[in-house]
């Protein structure tokens, strides 16, 4: 099948959140990422070079369009297209609050940067965290930049969007963690193997309302103590440090 002007227009339109939401789809690009997602999410369209199609002969997809590198450049959202672009259906996950009482989960309070969100999903995957609960104002997980930044972790981590305050308010007798400047040293605290870790907005941290619901306030100390240092950590880096300490304690 040929790559028509209408098909190019449709693919490029999926850069917009409104269009992705209407169509309930998202874009992924590159052999590694597309390979990780094929078989996990239904693929409705795949645009690929002849070489890629020869190497991947038995793919399950509704429609395949073979293109050359010049044609791929017309639809790719990357500066340097990588052999294949695919459009997948967005998954729909049921929200079960009980998973927070049985396992370690993340909550994101208005994280805005698509790259940060994608990196956090990748971190969650690395540390075996299967559920991430996002406030309604958190960046879109299906933003093409976010999808690329997950490096395939989106296939294994379920991302939920919901009113975060309402979710946390229901977590009675459950550990809810967050990082604050007046929190307790994370390396000196006994951390649980289940519960919710809340990470805040890049500029403002955890919002006032959500902060009032957090019952375990932590602090990531700089080293050495008292030394003049950066004002704060990037939210993705802070997430990595926090998750690593939770998992380290589970191995003790």
- On whether both 64 and 103 belong to a single domain, the answer is no
pLDDT at 25 over 80: yes
What is the per-residue pLDDT for 79?
87
Q: How many residues does the chain have?
A: 252
Q: Which of 89, 119, 149 is the last residue of a domain?
A: 89
- pLDDT tens column, 89-147: 999 999 999 999 999 999 999 999 999 999 999 999 999 999 999 999 999 999 999 99
pLDDT, average across residues 160-178: 95
What is the per-residue pLDDT for 204?
92
- On whether both 127 and 242 belong to a single domain, the answer is yes
Q: Which of 48, 70, 89 is the last residue of a domain?
A: 89
What is the per-residue pLDDT for 172?
84
- On whether both 109 and 181 belong to a single domain, the answer is yes
- CATH at 66: 3.30.1330.30
Query: What is the residue range of 167's domain?
Result: 97-250
- On whether both 69 and 131 belong to a single domain, the answer is no
- On whether both 195 and 218 belong to a single domain, the answer is yes
Distance CA 172, CA 8 (A): 50
- On whether both 74 and 106 belong to a single domain, the answer is no
pLDDT, average across residues 230-249: 92
Tell the residue number behind the tokens 């589970």, with chain if given. Answer: 250
- CATH at 188: 3.40.1280.10
What is the percentage of the chain residues whose pLDDT exceeds 90? 87
pLDDT at 189 over 80: yes
- On whether both 162 and 101 belong to a single domain, the answer is yes
Tell the residue number behind the tokens 């939770």, with chain if given. Answer: 246
- On whether both 85 and 196 belong to a single domain, the answer is no
Helices (H), strands (E): how many in the chain? 10, 10
- On whether both 107 and 44 belong to a single domain, the answer is no
pLDDT at 199 over 90: yes
Task: Say if CB 85 and CB 105 are below 8 A apart.
Answer: no
**Which among 10, 6, 9, 4 has a CA at the least distance from the CA of 25?**
10
- On whether both 133 and 216 belong to a single domain, the answer is yes
Name the pLDDT band for 40 (thresholds 50, 70, 90).
very high
| Count of domains observed in the chain | 2
- On whether both 49 and 172 belong to a single domain, the answer is no
What is the per-residue pLDDT for 117?
98
pLDDT, average across residues 233-252: 93
Distance CA 83, CA 206 (A): 40
Task: Say if CB 141 and CB 120 are below 8 A apart.
Answer: no
pTM of the model: 0.93
Q: Is the peptide bond before 133 cis (omega within 30 degrees of 0)?
A: no
- On whether both 102 and 158 belong to a single domain, the answer is yes
**Which among 237, 33, 238 has a CA at the least distance from the CA of 149?**
33
What is the percentage of the chain residues whose pLDDT exceeds 70? 99
Q: Which of 72, 89, 106 is the last residue of a domain?
A: 89
């Amino acid at each position: 099948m040929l790559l028509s002007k209408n098909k190019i227009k449709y693919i490029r339109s999926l850069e917009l959140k409104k269009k992705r939401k209407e169509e309930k789809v998202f874009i992924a690009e590159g052999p590694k990422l597309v390979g990780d997602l094929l078989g996990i999410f239904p693929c409705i369209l795949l645009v690929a070079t002849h070489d890629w199609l020869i190497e991947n002969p038995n793919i399950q997809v509704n429609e395949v369009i073979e293109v050359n590198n010049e044609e791929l450049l017309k639809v790719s959202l990357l500066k340097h297209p990588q052999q294949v672009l695919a459009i997948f259906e967005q998954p729909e996950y049921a929200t079960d609050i009980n998973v927070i009482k049985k396992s370690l989960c993340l909550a994101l309070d208005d994280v805005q940067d698509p790259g940060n969100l994608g990196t956090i999903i990748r971190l969650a995957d690395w540390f075996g965290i299967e559920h991430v609960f996002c406030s309604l104002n958190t960046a879109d997980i299906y933003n093409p930049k976010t999808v690329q930044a997950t490096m395939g972790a989106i296939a294994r981590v379920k991302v939920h969007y919901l009113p975060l305050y309402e979710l946390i308010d229901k977590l009675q007798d459950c550990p809810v963690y967050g990082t604050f400047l007046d929190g307790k040293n994370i390396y000196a605290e006994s951390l649980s193997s289940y519960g919710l870790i809340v990470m805040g907005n890049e500029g403002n941290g955890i919002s006032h309302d959500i902060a009032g619901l957090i019952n375990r306030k932590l602090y990531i100390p700089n080293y050495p103590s008292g030394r003049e240092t950066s004002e704060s950590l990037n939210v993705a880096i802070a997430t990595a440090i926090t998750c690593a300490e939770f998992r380290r304690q589970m191995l003790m």
